[in-house]
Chains A and B, each alone.
Chain A
């Protein structure tokens, strides 16, 4: 199979780059297709990945992230650091310099005032900005002069590169959005659908949840780019049809998110019209163990709360046995193929942040059985299901409706049955499962099941906020309307203390060390989270499209200006 990882991709593109010296707009049209259609071109009003990727072709941040997770200047002249004085010595402020001569696509100049406005726009209390966390801890943003932006934090900030960094937090034009601040934000349909930007393309036509038509930006800062005169993103369908449109019929040049069964990947790649590329971020498919009792016999309000510990999953031996019984390489082979790898970590990357924990990778059914025996679970009545004190070892295992997840459920059920655990499966509509509706019994936060499976990831290479999800205070409870990210209701004061320490540590090596320790605490030390597969995003591009460099840390289309037609 013709697949390259992000790293190989970087090498390959370097090799191809001489061909990229095309003139602006000489390569015709580039056609992209997304399985989910684009709803809005303003990333601050949408959290959907599809919208963020599409808008990244038009709107740009001060700095982006490379496939390796390092910073690269976009609108900024250079990356401010402690060394060049851009970041103050006490880490309480960062000063960005804009590149000289930057223009919006309408011809007006980009100034520091636009950045200040962007910050005000996203932090307005009535605006409902979905990227508010990017500006968390920012006390003020000032325009020192037209080209200098000073961001001041309310304390030392270990990672000052969140505001105005990556496709999640681009700069929007003050002149266009001035009347759209706060409660008025959603009413500015034209601005939200056709924002004026600095990126290589500008929107020329937008049909909601269908097609975005774009043309090259005549004022783009690199006069030789983009190579394509026009671009379009067609949305809708599913992963299968998107992949087919690139790999088999050749109607499209690029398809994002084409996760299809490994066999189909191979068959489509064999057609020879294109190739799949995969980028590994931190997305991990995992089984979360419930530490509280989800029994329906408990009264509402006490069910699945810390008041009642789980009858058997609170025993680490049971949790460990369940993890040992799983063969993660078979899961990858069946579900993801080249789009996944077995993992034992919640933080599987990038390099330096990932723990070297690999103990779970070898399946050990006998060991799992022995552990259960040790924990007192024996099959006393000979029906193949272990029991203890008259209670059977019965697990309700829930996840969302998704063909790969249903395959995983079937396999894991088989393994758990082999070690004498009775398993009941349940699948839930993803809109309900992830919806967080406090009235529904089926949300993942309520966790009215013994174990549940889904995927989650850290948005940034630096996993601080991601790891802080497992703090005691973040457990969903009836009092918090079941909102909260600590799905397992894991609670360890030592863990909370380490998170606090991480928040004040600025030394990179030390931070990584703490993150690895935290990762181990929720995985191998406690088996509260049972990671299964480190998932990549699988995308497809045609052989006629050059310059694609897939990226897990920023928009996948981060270097669309460099794309060109292979002739």
Chain B
């Protein structure tokens, strides 16, 4: 509890201060490094690791192989190299996971703060949240595909269109929990002394929200974000079951996990690799979240 209270933070040094604090957090560094490796691997990996271009007849001879020098992660039931598939899959899964999570978190936090802080907005916004919670997910997704897929694809092309539709679908169906959690926190925060004090000296609502409310809801939001990444990656594989996802020959971690499931007993490595990739991502996001929270919260900083 020393640095924050003795020297008044200047805006420029505040970022550096947070970084300094973040750096000392071992878990956070581990998380950041792991995530960077994962991101680099899926971005550059597919250019470095190019599997041999085999014909179907050749692939059939090498199907379902275990790890070897030629195939570090083995091959699947059609003789495709698992390493290159896991790397390719990671691009989509990481992108979907993070973008959808950001959409859900930003939207959910916004709704939660507005509903919690402004009494007049609370009723309509919370009823909207209730409605979204109550809507059956699968029919909602099916309707979205039916209405929008071809239109979106016509404007920006099938693959980008599928991506946008997926992140939008996941985002629009997973912001509600964040909204309710944030609202609950805001309800208590806005009655705290410092908020009341700020309000009594005439501070404007957006300033109070930015300076006093937002920093204090960071920690539940971080947890929601961590859970959100995992959820989005898994939900993407559910979407591909509805034909909403990417074309069927387009691997994603969730889909690899699903495909591997029926081979779990005979070739367990088929599910271990995508499962490990998802777990590592979530774990590193969690640690980064922990570190960020500690770094952002001056009270925790000293501990």
B150 contacts A426, C-beta separation under 8 Å: no
B262 contacts A403, C-beta separation under 8 Å: yes
A424 contacts B247, C-beta separation under 8 Å: yes
- A117 CB, nearest partner CB in chain B, Å: 40
- A29 CB, nearest partner CB in chain B, Å: 28
Q: Decide yes or no: A263 and B64 within 8 Å by CB, A327-B56, A429-B142 being known contacts.
A: yes
* B residues less than 8 Å from A425 (CB atoms): 247-249
- Provide the bound-state CA to CA distance between A263 and B75, in Å: 14
B78 contacts A260, C-beta separation under 8 Å: no
A334 contacts B243, C-beta separation under 8 Å: no
- Provide the bound-state CA to CA distance between A240 and B242, in Å: 20
Determine which of B78, B247, B265 lies in contact with A264 in the assembled complex, contact meaning CB atoms within 8 Å. Answer: B265
In this complex, which of B77, B142, B158, B243 has the most chain A Cβ atoms within 10 angstroms of its Cβ?
Answer: B243
- Provide the bound-state CA to CA distance between A427 and B145, in Å: 13
Q: Which of B206-259 contact A (CB under 8 A)?
A: 240-243, 247-249, 259
Interface check B263, CB cutoff 8 A: yes
Interface check B135, CB cutoff 8 A: no
* B residues less than 8 Å from A406 (CB atoms): 248-249, 259
- Provide the bound-state CA to CA distance between A330 and B263, in Å: 19
Q: Which of B154-173 contact A (CB under 8 A)?
A: 154, 158
B248 contacts A427, C-beta separation under 8 Å: yes
Number of A-B residue pairs having CB atoms within 8 Å of each other in the complex: 81
B78 contacts A432, C-beta separation under 8 Å: no
Interface check A428, CB cutoff 8 A: yes
A427 contacts B243, C-beta separation under 8 Å: yes
A422-446 interface code vs B (CB 8 A; 1 in, 0 out)? 0011111100110000011110000
Determine which of A261, A263, A411, A426 lies in contact with B56 in the assembled complex, contact meaning CB atoms within 8 Å. Answer: A411
Q: Which of A393-429 contact B (CB under 8 A)?
A: 401, 403, 406-407, 409-411, 413-415, 418, 424-429
- Residues of B in contact with A, size category: 20 to 34
- Provide the bound-state CA to CA distance between A471 and B56, in Å: 37
A264 contacts B262, C-beta separation under 8 Å: yes
* A residues less than 8 Å from B249 (CB atoms): 406, 409-410, 413, 425
Q: Which of A299-333 contact B (CB under 8 A)?
A: 327, 330, 333
A441 contacts B150, C-beta separation under 8 Å: yes
* A residues less than 8 Å from B77 (CB atoms): 261, 263, 334, 407
Chain B residue with minimal CB distance to A400?
Answer: B243
- A340 CB, nearest partner CB in chain B, Å: 15
Interface check B69, CB cutoff 8 A: no
* B residues less than 8 Å from A414 (CB atoms): 55-56, 59
- B112 CB, nearest partner CB in chain A, Å: 33
* B residues less than 8 Å from A403 (CB atoms): 259, 262
- Provide the bound-state CA to CA distance between A330 and B63, in Å: 12
- Provide the bound-state CA to CA distance between A403 and B259, in Å: 7
- Provide the bound-state CA to CA distance between A429 and B249, in Å: 16
Interface check A296, CB cutoff 8 A: yes
Q: Decide yes or no: A296 and B248 within 8 Å by CB, A327-B56, A403-B259 being known contacts.
A: no
Chain B residue with minimal CB distance to A409?
Answer: B248
- Provide the bound-state CA to CA distance between A415 and B55, in Å: 8
A267 contacts B266, C-beta separation under 8 Å: yes
- A332 CB, nearest partner CB in chain B, Å: 12
* A residues less than 8 Å from B242 (CB atoms): 401, 429
B265 contacts A440, C-beta separation under 8 Å: no
Q: Which of A253-288 contact B (CB under 8 A)?
A: 260-261, 263-264, 267
B266 contacts A432, C-beta separation under 8 Å: no
B266 contacts A264, C-beta separation under 8 Å: yes
What would be 5 A-B contacts, judged by CB atoms less than 8 Å apart?
A401-B243, A406-B259, A426-B247, A427-B240, A427-B243
Instruction: List 5 A-B pairs, minimum CB-CB distance, nearest first.
Output: A428-B243, A427-B248, A406-B248, A429-B242, A425-B247
Q: A401-B248, A442-B146 are in contact. List 14 more A-B contacts (CB 8 A).
A: A264-B263, A264-B265, A267-B265, A267-B266, A327-B57, A330-B60, A334-B78, A401-B241, A406-B248, A409-B249, A411-B78, A414-B56, A426-B247, A428-B243
